[in-house]
Chain A
């Protein structure tokens, strides 16, 4: 089951606004991952983080691996309608154990 606390559960924003979501855990992870899931599809990897403190960007997306290795955040700048979907964080430990957050459902109003 889920051991990651992901927030917020949902967001309703206006096109052009920035978005921020985060994940926290009681456990340490070696890798933090952020996925996006569109309706009727499987999760697609957006960003992978491998080192504590790492800050990685992918276009308008920026994610950071927390220093304590127990948290991560994802920012989306200048949101557009196609950013709509469910965003999941996932933590992966050294023994292949992977846990997912409950997801953040993003709605972008044009």
Chain B
């Protein structure tokens, strides 16, 4: 398996523009997670899905952020409008459902977002 795939790997945009980050989880994994990593706050969970349904979005910073999972093999994280403080590395991770106590998350390579 190719692992979790994220695109783009790097995104540079101007303040106010819409940004869409994409993720393809590992085939067969039931859970998908979106994280944000910054120097100041480390790794933060933004939202996670189970079987394409959003379960916990309490980590989403504000209404400018939205995430969707239209099918088991694709998810998007959208920021509209983007602001400079959104600059960070955004990771997608997936996890199988065989046994929630023993299965762990596998991370993608991340998307480095810079908002000017």
On A, residues with C-beta under 8 Å from B are 1-2, 30-31, 33, 35, 40-45, 48, 50, 88, 92, 94, 96, 98, 100-103
Contacts and interface: CB of A to CB of B under 8 A. Distances in A.
B110 interface: yes
B42 A102 contact: yes
Given A42-B91, A50-B102, A92-B104, A100 B43 contact: yes
Among A1, A2, A42, A102, the most chain B Cβ lie within 10 Å of the Cβ of: A42
15 contacts: A1-B44, A30-B101, A40-B112, A41-B109, A42-B93, A42-B108, A42-B109, A43-B43, A43-B107, A44-B107, A45-B106, A96-B55, A98-B45, A98-B105, A100-B42
Interface residues of B, number: 24
Contact of A42 (B42, B100, B107): B107
Contacts of A33: 104
Nearest to A33: B104
Interface string B75-116: 000000000000000010100000011101111111010000
Given A41-B110, A103-B42, A96 B48 contact: yes
A108 B101 CA distance: 34
A88 B106 CA distance: 14
**At the interface, is chain B mostly helix, strand, loop or mixed?**
strand
Nearest to A2: B42
A35 to B, nearest CB: 8
A40 B105 CA distance: 18
Contacts of B44: 1
A27 to B, nearest CB: 15
Contact of A96 (B31, B106, B108, B109): B31
Given A31-B101, A96-B100, 6 more contacts: A1-B44, A31-B104, A40-B112, A48-B104, A50-B102, A88-B43
Contacts of A98: 33, 45, 105
Contacts of A43: 43, 91, 107
A51 to B, nearest CB: 10
A34 to B, nearest CB: 10
A102 B44 CA distance: 10
